[in-house]
């Protein structure tokens, strides 16, 4: 098992290096850079542009240099000094910008994922063991609707209902007074008060899909001979369902941990916009649009690193739960 994990980690490192190169190159692909679009924006508004200031900025961000020099400066900064570069648009170091948002995003999405699994797995198993009964049809209908509705629409509806029926202002993750306040106990309480709506909205979409997946997987396993063997032992039906077919049917969940982790950061951008959440999704989208390359590059690097780490976690979980995979490793 240990050898298996070490081997996987060994493959991870070069993967991340290559991904970081590719993502950096892709960010550079569009013509121009942040400063050209910045200057163009200023000119459009009729502002005077100080050529000297632009040149100084270009020098400071190293934009005139060849791409591999820029890449080297950026990566060595991250590795040696933990410096992720400057965000040009925000005029702040990237690391000051992303970590708080990152923490909020991870907290929010993690809670949403756990809520969604907590609901989806029992419901999916129930649907499978009661196939073609009225509750099964009911759950199926609800989950199809949930899977079909886009998250931002649900977010809008929930906000509208909360506003009209309960007089709540539910946008954002904090109330006005805590928005920029330093972390304190009341701020945490305030966060928890705001958290439930985004959690419900985000969890709803993935719950629907997970119910379908669980139901289909459990149905596949329910008629396998080993289930009949367990039944022939005299095991209680509920116990044997959870011990045997559900256990095997959980494999797809473990294998999706890989992209679930990355989804924590990039996913739900639209919902975050609608609910004006201070999460990473909207910030990353804006950075990409304005060619704020160090900020966007840092996001991409984090995303791919998380995907790779997520894949490693999936692999370990799968190997732990399914001995057949351990053998092949």
Answer for the pair 119, 205: CB distance below 8 angstroms, yes or no. Answer: no
- 286: tokens are 């804006």
Instruction: Note whether 167 binds another protein by CB under 8 A.
Output: no
- 138: tokens are 């009911």
Instruction: Pick from 16, 63, 195, 248 the residue near another protein by CB under 8 A.
Output: 248
In DSSP terms, 93 is beta-bridged to 86
Cβ burial, residue 42 (10 Å; 0-12/13-18/19+): middle
Instruction: Note whether 226 binds another protein by CB under 8 A.
Output: yes
User: Which residues lie closer than 8 Å to 140 by C-beta, 6 or more apart?
Assistant: 127, 212, 215
d(CA 174, CA 192): 9
Of 263, 3, 15, which is closest to residue 116 (Cα–Cα)?
263
Instruction: Pick from 3, 81, 164, 324 the residue near another protein by CB under 8 A.
Output: 324
CB-nearer residue toward another protein: 90 or 321: 321
Instruction: Note whether 232 binds another protein by CB under 8 A.
Output: yes
Give me the sign of the Cα torsion angle 155, 158, 162, 164: positive
- Per DSSP, the residues of 65-97 read S-HHHHHHHHHHIIIII----EETTTTEEHHHH
Pick the piece of the chain touching another protein (CB under 8 A) from 75-83, 159-167, 242-250, 263-271. Answer: 242-250
d(CA 235, CA 176): 57
Instruction: Note whether 231 binds another protein by CB under 8 A.
Output: yes
Instruction: Pick from 19, 107, 191, 235 the residue near another protein by CB under 8 A.
Output: 235
Least distance from another protein to the Cβ atom of residue 217, Å: 14
| Interacting positions 204-223 with another protein (CB under 8 A) | 223
Pick the piece of the chain touching another protein (CB under 8 A) from 23-31, 43-51, 161-169, 230-238. Answer: 230-238
Instruction: Pick from 69, 224, 242, 252 the residue near another protein by CB under 8 A.
Output: 224
Least distance from another protein to the Cβ atom of residue 232, Å: 4
Pick the piece of the chain touching another protein (CB under 8 A) from 8-16, 151-159, 261-269, 317-325. Answer: 317-325
Least distance from another protein to the Cβ atom of residue 251, Å: 9
Least distance from another protein to the Cβ atom of residue 118, Å: 22
Answer for the pair 291, 32: CB distance below 8 angstroms, yes or no. Answer: yes
Of 237, 235, 18, which is closest to residue 126 (Cα–Cα)?
237
Instruction: Note whether 244 binds another protein by CB under 8 A.
Output: yes
Instruction: Note whether 322 binds another protein by CB under 8 A.
Output: yes
d(CA 42, CA 51): 12
Instruction: Pick from 247, 276, 289, 329 the residue near another protein by CB under 8 A.
Output: 247
CB atoms within 10 A of CB 17: 11
Instruction: Note whether 327 binds another protein by CB under 8 A.
Output: yes
Instruction: Note whether 328 binds another protein by CB under 8 A.
Output: no
Least distance from another protein to the Cβ atom of residue 263, Å: 27
d(CA 213, CA 252): 8
Binding flags for another protein, 262-301, as an x/- string (CB under 8 A): ----------------------------------------
Instruction: Pick from 173, 199, 230, 303 the residue near another protein by CB under 8 A.
Output: 230
Instruction: Note whether 228 binds another protein by CB under 8 A.
Output: yes
- 324: tokens are 């057949």
Give me the residues that bind another protein (CB under 8 A), please.
Answer: 223-226, 228-237, 243-244, 247-248, 321-324, 327
């Amino acid at each position: 098992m240990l050898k298996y994990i070490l081997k996987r980690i060994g493959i991870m490192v070069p993967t991340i290096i290559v991904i970081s190169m590719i993502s950096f190159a892709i960010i550079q692909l569009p013509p121009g850079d942040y400063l050209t679009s910045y200057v163009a924006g200023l000119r459009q508004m009729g502002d005077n542009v100080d050529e000297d200031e632009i040149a100084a900025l270009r020098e400071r961000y190293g934009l005139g240099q060849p791409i591999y020099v820029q890449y080297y400066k950026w990566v060595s900064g991250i590795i040696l000094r933990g410096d992720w570069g400057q965000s040009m648009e925000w005029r702040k170091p990237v690391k000051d910008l992303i970590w708080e948002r990152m923490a909020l995003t991870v907290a929010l999405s993690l809670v949403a994922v756990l809520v969604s699994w907590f609901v989806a797995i029992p419901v999916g198993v129930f649907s499978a063991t009661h196939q073609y009964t009225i509750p099964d049809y009911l759950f199926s209908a609800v989950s199809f609707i949930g899977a079909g509705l886009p998250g931002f629409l649900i977010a809008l509806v929930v906000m509208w209902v909360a506003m009209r029926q309960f007089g709540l202002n539910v946008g954002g993750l904090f109330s006005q007074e805590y928005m920029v306040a330093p972390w304190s106990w009341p701020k945490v309480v305030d966060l928890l008060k705001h958290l439930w709506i985004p959690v419900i909205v985000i969890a709803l979409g993935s719950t629907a899909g997970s119910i379908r997946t669980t139901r289909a997987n459990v149905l596949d396993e329910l008629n396998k001979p080993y289930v009949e063997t367990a039944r022939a032992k005299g095991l209680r039906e509920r116990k044997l369902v959870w011990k045997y077919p559900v256990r095997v049917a959980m494999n797809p969940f473990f294998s999706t941990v890989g992209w679930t982790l990355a989804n924590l950061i990039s996913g739900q951008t639209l919902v975050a916009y609608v609910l004006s959440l201070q999460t990473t999704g909207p910030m990353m989208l804006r950075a990409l649009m304005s060619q704020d390359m160090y900020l966007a590059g840092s996001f991409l690097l984090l995303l791919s690193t998380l995907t790779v780490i997520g894949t490693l976690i999936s692999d370990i979980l799968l190997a732990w739960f399914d001995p057949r995979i351990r053998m092949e490793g």
